[in-house]
Amino acid sequence: MILGLTWLVAFQLLGEVTVRLLDLPVPGPVVGMLYLLVFLRLRRPAAGAPVLRAGDGLLRHLQLFFVPAGVGVVAYLGVLGDDWLPITVAMLGSWLVALAVVGWTAVGLERLLGEPRDDQPRTAR
Amino acid sequence: MTSAADTLLEVARSPLGLLGITLGGYQAGRWLLRRTGDHALAQPVLVAVVVAGGAITLLGVEYADYRSATEIVAFWLGPATVALAIPLHRQVDRLRGFVVPLLVAVVLGAAASISSGVLLARWLGAEQALEETLAAKAATTPVAIALTEPLGGIPALAAVFAITIGIVGAVAGPATLHLLRIRDRRARGLALGAVSHGVGASRMLREHETEGAFAGLSMGLSALAISVLLPVLALLLW
């Protein structure tokens, strides 16, 4: 477990260094993700490799790691005050617009380029 | 008797107590998710935020103190984000024939997210500082904070908007994609990662590995697209 976590932290560090040296506008862990992907493509570790076990273990509980930031929302609720209506509509409205734009563009271009793969998921809950 | 209650409150307000409340809230969320047969509202992140947020309000703990007590939990977000490469590695074959649709969709989505958020807020009479704070919300939280400051918005509030829209995506994402009739798993992951970043990816990972993998990729690419497009669109919008 610790060996795998060490790998993940090492790729995160590599990402942080890259972001700072090149002054990139994305977070270090996102660049670290890219490095890990390249590493996995090149080395193709076996199914039970420490880095895969540790990574899968963390991803199972990805939601937990957002909780401290999420509690900040509760702390801020009072500040919204009179602006709650424009905030709520702008948030939900633009979320829906962008969700549809990304989804429909991707599916539409796929059809246009001749490689549609409609794998119908089971009915939504 | 009162001294025992005081001791209990003191322990609850200690860093360990706050950490326990956070982990307990998360486990309660997981239990609720199983009990309700994966009900969309029973997202562990949402349940834990309600439990811990309610607890610090009742206990009179400042958010800054709560935040430093739970830094040990938030820390793992970095390595977990790196780990999003793992589902992508397993799904890399599914990138074939999807690279162009993917890139075009992410760029259009970033532009749509920024401009529709700003214009909707303006239409409803929001102040300019609020419009600027809403612009970057679809980006992952650290990017939203970094982009909001030079724009003239309020960075702390931008973080709140980003995390909120993430939780909205975790709750409503799959059902909304169903209503929009988007059935390709790659497009579904791509769309939710673009609007609800890592929190959206966390929901998609539980739905299907392909959806989770593309949501993680989309979170990274969208952060980049929003960073590049926001200064350009700002010239047009304000």
Q: Are B70 and B22 in contact (CB under 8 A)?
A: yes
Whole-number average pLDDT of chain B: 95
Low-confidence ranges of chain A (pLDDT < 50): 124-125
**Do A8 and A56 belong together in one domain?**
yes
The beta-strand segments (E) located in chain A are none
> Is the same domain home to B46 and B139?
no
Domain check: are B119 and B50 in the same one?
no
The domain tally of chain B equals 2
Distance CA B161, CA B163 (A): 6
Contact A121 B104 (CB under 8 A): no
Domain for residue A67, yes or no?
Answer: no
- The pLDDT of residue A124 is 46
Identify the domain boundary among B75, B99, B129: B75
Do both A56 and A83 map to the same domain? Answer: no
**Residue A125: predicted pLDDT:** 43
Residues B176 and B153 in one domain: yes
Look up the ipTM and state it. Answer: 0.94
Domain that holds residue B130: 83-237
Return the percent helix, strand and coil in chain B, to nearest 5: 85, 0, 15
Higher pLDDT pick, B219 / A81: B219
Is A65 inside any structural domain? no
Domain check: are B67 and B179 in the same one?
no
Q: Does B49 touch chain A (CB under 8 A)?
A: yes
CB contact under 8 A, B86 and A40: yes
Instruction: Specify the DSSP class assigned to residue A26.
Output: S
Interface test with A, best of B81, B197, B237 (most A CBs within 10 A): B81
> Of B54, B75, B96, which closes a domain?
B75
* B116 and B200 housed in the same domain: yes
Helix H or strand E segment including B112: helix B99-123
Same domain, B166 and B200: yes
Could you read off the pLDDT of B97-126 as tens digits, one per residue?
Answer: 899 999 999 999 999 999 999 999 999 999
Choosing from B52, B75, B98, the residue where a domain stops is: B75
Tell me: do B57 and B117 sit in the same domain: no
For chain A, how many structural domains are there in total?
A: 2
Nearest beta carbon to residue B187 from set A9, A90, A107: A107
